[in-house]
A and B are shown apart, each in its own frame.
Chain A
Amino acid sequence: MIQLRSPKVREHFLTALLFILALLAAILFILPTVLTISNSFMSEKEITANYGAMIESATADKKTYISEELNLKFIPDKVSFSQYASVLFKSPDYLLKFWNSVILVVPITVFQILLAAFTAYGFSRYRGRIREIIFFMYIILMLMPYQVTLVPNYLVSDWLGILGTRWAIILPGIFSPFSVYLLTKVMRRIPKAYYEAARLDGASEFQIFWHICLPLTRSAMLSVGLLVFIDYWNMVEQPLILLKDQDQFPLSVFLSQINSGDVGLAFAVAVVYMIPALLLFLYGEEYLVEGITYSGGVKG
């Protein structure tokens, strides 16, 4: 008892307690991901045995339940690659939809970031009342739920004759104001002296942008790019409304509609869909923290 009262011991005790709590929280946070991955190595038979009830009820109009229990299983009895084999060789459908996702998301991400950097430079370098009002308008647009901009989106696509094509998703995506807001916040923190010095050396405005502003905001651009990528990688609303042809739908819309015929590959498809996001995450995690915290208005 006496020892526990001494401040040093107490401090250690507290740290240990916090560590355990943090560890538990961390496990909770990664559990669904780990489960998806580990279950992807189960054979079709094992999946049906454990999750049969869920998948049956999903197909039978969500009304009938089979009295079987669902068993959340962490470790497969026998590691099997049969799910992956089915995805790769037996159901080219899923690969096609994966490709649909790629050709929608990659152009949106790349061009949105480029355009946003350009625009953010304008917002951060030149202040003025009208530009402040426009910037506020961007913030409001950014916060609007997609369903508000859905009708406008639909109308424009109709006028431009791109309704039902991929352009109806890609073009509005490129002009989305989210990354403009974040990058402007970041660029406003670049000291003015940098710009002045460059200008005294005779650099043009575009050279300042290219050689000073962009390198300084590299990590912010990468992190915003990650956020934009993952956001569009998850898209559900846009394809449902703007695309007519189901063959063009990205995989994100389909993953939930796995029916009894596909039991054997459900988790493997989920993992395949996870891979690009996870790879980017592993590559850009550092940026995700440092790049965005600048825009959060953190001082110092």
Chain B
Amino acid sequence: MQPTTPKRRQRIIEHCKAWSWLTPSLIGVLVFFIIPFCVVIYYSVLDNPIFANFVGLDNFIKLFSNSAFIRAARNTAIFSVIAVPLSVVLSLWMAFALNSKIPGKSWLRSCFLCPLMVPIASVVLVWQVIFHYHGTLNQITSVFGIEPVDWFKTNWSYFVLTIMFLWKTLGYNMILFMSAIAGIPRDIVEVAQLEGASGWYTFLHIKLRYLSPTILFVTILSIISSFKMFREVYLLTGDYPFESMYLLQHFMNNTFNSLDYQKLSSAAVLLSVVMVILIGIMFLIERKFGEDVEE
């Protein structure tokens, strides 16, 4: 028997099998996302779709002198940079705090998961009542003699946005962390404590390492939901909110409605480049930090 030919044939068969599982989804992803995205890249270096002159990076340079884009990008960046880490760190802290024996844990858990499941549109009314100029929050602060604040129309809107984001994400992130904490091997922690490691050391070098895949996962979920905060903002304030709430998504939507494809495509390309770099960095950090615990 010749060892090479059947082996090779088997490998080819394996390959075919593997691809046959992936093909249906791959076709859809190619047709609906990848191929049109290539067209978007193509649009982003043209002056307009009809004459189709190559203009290089002109559209991108124009984008950077567009004040609406700059404001939208800055607002989105500030919000994400504050809100996502805040949500991850706070939920990790809460998970450690709640990890001890507490009565009624499953009831508490249901409460924490509730914001995840309730449709945004359903609670938008309540947010409006709370943050309205004549709303609940201002009534409470006025008791302490604090001037009423127009939460949606001043720079406080960052704060409002962050609160709504935390309300929505904290509970679920915390639940994910709690079950991850339960999965940390206890013997390793105990050995470290016996050898005199400080609480801080065990936390940083043992617990955090075991949690790093979950931290990455929670961060990914939080980033996704931070982009979806546009929905809340849209439902609360419409197409043109106050400028500190004007997000990249507003910019894209409004550009879309004015049919400026060049501006839109270059913004989309730019945003995706930034995202790819960020995601790459995140995965590198996770790989480096958690490498000891990977099997």
A151-B40, A156-B36 known; A70 and B18 CB under 8 Å? no
- Asked if A296 contacts B218 (CB within 8 A), the reply is yes
Which residues in chain B, 129-147, are within 8 Å of chain A measured between CB atoms? 129-130, 132-136, 139
A231: chain B residues at CB < 8 Å are 228
Q: How far is the CA of A122 from the CA of B23 in the complex (A)?
A: 9
- Asked if B32 contacts A274 (CB within 8 A), the reply is no
Which residues in chain A, 24-56, are within 8 Å of chain B measured between CB atoms? 25-33, 35-36, 39, 51, 53-54
Measured CB to CB, the closest approach of chain A to B7, in angstroms, equals 17
* Residue from B36, B123, B235, B248 within 8 A of A152 (CB atoms): B36
- Asked if B102 contacts A15 (CB within 8 A), the reply is yes
- Asked if B124 contacts A123 (CB within 8 A), the reply is no
* Residue from A36, A54, A205, A267 within 8 A of B135 (CB atoms): A54
Q: How far is the CA of A219 from the CA of B275 in the complex (A)?
A: 31
* Residue from B121, B133, B227 within 8 A of A270 (CB atoms): B121
A32-B118, A33-B114 known; A293 and B32 CB under 8 Å? no
Chain B interface: which size bin?
Answer: 35 or more
- Asked if A152 contacts B40 (CB within 8 A), the reply is yes
* Residue from A177, A252, A278, A281 within 8 A of B120 (CB atoms): A252
Measured CB to CB, the closest approach of chain A to B246, in angstroms, equals 13
- Asked if A256 contacts B235 (CB within 8 A), the reply is yes
Q: How far is the CA of A171 from the CA of B30 in the complex (A)?
A: 13
Q: Does B200 contact A (CB under 8 A)?
A: no
* Residue from B29, B98, B134, B256 within 8 A of A150 (CB atoms): B256
Measured CB to CB, the closest approach of chain B to A9, in angstroms, equals 15
Measured CB to CB, the closest approach of chain A to B217, in angstroms, equals 4
Q: Which residues of A contact B (CB under 8 A)?
A: 14-15, 18-19, 21-23, 25-33, 35-36, 39, 51, 53-54, 57-58, 62, 65, 67-70, 72, 115-116, 118-119, 121-123, 125-126, 128, 131, 134, 137-156, 171-172, 174-175, 177-178, 180, 205, 226, 230-231, 233-237, 240-241, 251-256, 258, 266-267, 270-271, 273-274, 277-278, 280-281, 285, 288-290, 292-293, 295-300
- Given contacts A122-B20, A300-B183, list 14 more A-B pairs with CB under 8 A: A14-B100, A15-B102, A18-B97, A19-B104, A27-B111, A30-B111, A33-B118, A144-B272, A147-B271, A171-B28, A175-B32, A255-B124, A280-B117, A296-B179
4 nearest A-B residue pairs (beta carbon): A122-B21, A297-B213, A175-B28, A152-B36
12 pairs, CB–CB < 8 Å, chain A vs chain B: A19-B104, A26-B112, A29-B170, A32-B127, A69-B134, A70-B135, A123-B22, A143-B275, A145-B249, A175-B25, A234-B119, A281-B113
